[in-house]
Amino acid sequence: MTHERKNYEKDELLEILWHLDECHDLTLASLREHDNLSRFETTLNEFANNGAIKFDGTNIELTAKGRESAQEIIRRHRLAERLLVDVLGKTPEETEQAACEFEHILAPELVESICILLGHPKTCPHGSPIPEGKCCSEAKKSVGSLIIPLSEIKPNQSAKISSINTEDETRMEKLLSLGIVPGTMVKVTQKNPALVIEINQTQVALESSIGLDIKVWRPTP
């Protein structure tokens, strides 16, 4: 087995372990149901030997070392999905395979650049949380961030959408169907009792809470 292929399998197994852990079902039986365990048996033993996991024969636990490695992979994968949907206009269903390829080739500095470009999204297009990176922590400390919620835009102000952050897949699909996608200019025409925006010369009324999910570039004074 080539070194590149071996690393690919390690990444894939860490990703599966993270998913099972998110579902609070990180056991050998669940791993066996999820995939062909035999192809990961050597890698699983390697993880146990190098301290990435703890394994008692039934339950599996990601250690701090293993969790850090898995988190990096999940972050790359879910940011790649956001990039494909928000910037390239793909549907969430179309992103899985391409995101799997992206996650193995994205350099750390490129991952941070993508996160900044997308406005530090909190969830992937499927609603799963995106682990925070260093750039996200720094952005929180920054006063007067360039990316703000649409709800902070004043009536008659226009702004460009940077990202959409929602765990509600139905809400995400609705916004995308209305043309509310990253890169689009919107104008706030009303904030109460409902949020009304103008997009592509069309007035659209939204629940006020949706204004928190839509991130925009701060308008210039």
Q: Write the pLDDT tens digit of every residue in 28-49.
A: 888 888 776 777 888 888 999 9
Please give the pLDDT value at position 6.
57
Please give the pLDDT value at position 221.
65
Class (C level, CATH) for 147-217: mainly beta
Domain boundaries, the chain: 3-62, 67-141, 147-217
206 or 38, higher pLDDT? 206
Asked if 88 contacts 69 with a C-beta cutoff of 8 angstroms, the reply is no
- The tokens describing 71, both together, are 């988190």
Please give the pLDDT value at position 189.
95
Computed over every residue of the chain, the mean pLDDT equals 85
Q: Give the residue-averaged pLDDT of 56-75.
A: 91
Q: Which fold has domain 67-141?
A: Arc Repressor Mutant, subunit A (1.10.10)
Q: Answer whether 0.75 is exceeded by the pTM.
A: no
Task: Identify the burial level of 152 via C-beta atoms within 10 angstroms of its C-beta, where 0-12 means exposed, 13-18 middle and 19 or more buried.
Answer: middle
Q: Give the residue-averaged pLDDT of 12-16.
A: 90
- Is the pLDDT at 181 greater than 50? The verdict is yes
- Is the pLDDT at 143 greater than 60? The verdict is no
Quickly count: other Cβ atoms within 10 Å of residue 86's Cβ: 22
145-173 pLDDT, tens digit each? 677 899 999 999 999 998 888 878 888 88
Q: Give the residue-averaged pLDDT of 89-107.
A: 79
- Is the pLDDT at 5 greater than 70? The verdict is no
Task: Identify the burial level of 217 via C-beta atoms within 10 angstroms of its C-beta, where 0-12 means exposed, 13-18 middle and 19 or more buried.
Answer: middle
Quickly count: other Cβ atoms within 10 Å of residue 27's Cβ: 12
Q: Give the residue-averaged pLDDT of 201-206.
A: 92
